[in-house]
Amino acid sequence: MTPENFGALLALAIVAAWTPGPNNALVANSGATFGMRRTWPHVLGIGLGFAFMVFLVGFFLGGLFQTSALLRESLRWLGAAILLWLAWKIATSGGISSPGKEPRPFTFVEAAAFQWVNPKAWAFAVATTSQFVDPTAPLVTALIVGAVFVVVGLGSATSWAALGKGITRWVNTEHRLRRFNIVMAAVIAGCVVLLFLD
């Protein structure tokens, strides 16, 4: 990978990781609702889970997802449904929960698994791997792309969680926390709308 390509990859990774989207809204909400200590598994699940997904897509699945419109559309609709469900749960309860249980933050596995149904993650994974994974050296270039996303993704998720935690000074009452949760839910639902404007 040339220095120019690496610079372009880094710029794309920063845009993908730092712009508002489902991951960032969810982790900011978790930081505000549960605090940084309980949000660390979510942060790690995003940073490592998305990078692992990018590596696998680049090394194994890139061509399949680029050529199968049915697979891409199925994933888009499934992801949209899950995002709307998550937005509803956040707006109404402050976190994910099972019936009869208290809201709780994402676990590492849940956050990592969420990448596979997150439409923004898929869009960036396919776009990035199609541009930066060299078919003549797929393992090495997929590892480089994945490593860039580990560093950038962990930095972004940590910052968004800290932003959420910092907001707790403002959302120090149940009423304010409810309003914050509704705003975060609206951001997530807005991401779904943007998916279908393409």
How many degrees, rounded to 5, is the angle at CA 181 between CA 178 and CA 187?
A: 145
Q: Answer yes or no: is pLDDT of 198 > 80.
A: no
User: Rounded to an integer, what distance in angstroms lies between the CA atom of residue 62 and that of residue 83?
Assistant: 23
Question: What digits encode the pLDDT tens for the residues 81-93?
Answer: 776 777 787 677 6
Cβ burial, residue 58 (10 Å; 0-12/13-18/19+): buried
pLDDT value, residue 18: 84
> What pLDDT was estimated at residue 49?
95
pLDDT at 156 over 90: yes
Q: Which position has the token pair 């923004």?
A: 120
Distance separating alpha carbons of residues 45 and 61, to the nearest angstrom: 21
* H-helix segments, 94-135: 108-114, 119-132
What pLDDT score was predicted for residue 99?
56
**Residues 184-189, mean pLDDT to the nearest whole number:** 74
What is the rounded distance in angstroms from the CA atom of residue 45 to the CA atom of residue 183?
23
Whole-number pLDDT of residue 20: 76
Residue 56 vs residues 16, 74, 93: alpha-carbon distances, Å:
17, 19, 34
- The pLDDT tens digits of the residues spanning 100-155 come to 567 788 999 999 999 988 877 887 787 777 778 877 788 888 899 999 999 999 99
Note if the pTM is more than 0.75. no
- Compute the distance between CA of residue 114 and CA of residue 100 in angstroms, rounded to an integer: 23
Displacement of CA 191 from its chain's centroid (Å): 11
CA-to-CA distance for 119 and 102, rounded, in angstroms? Answer: 28
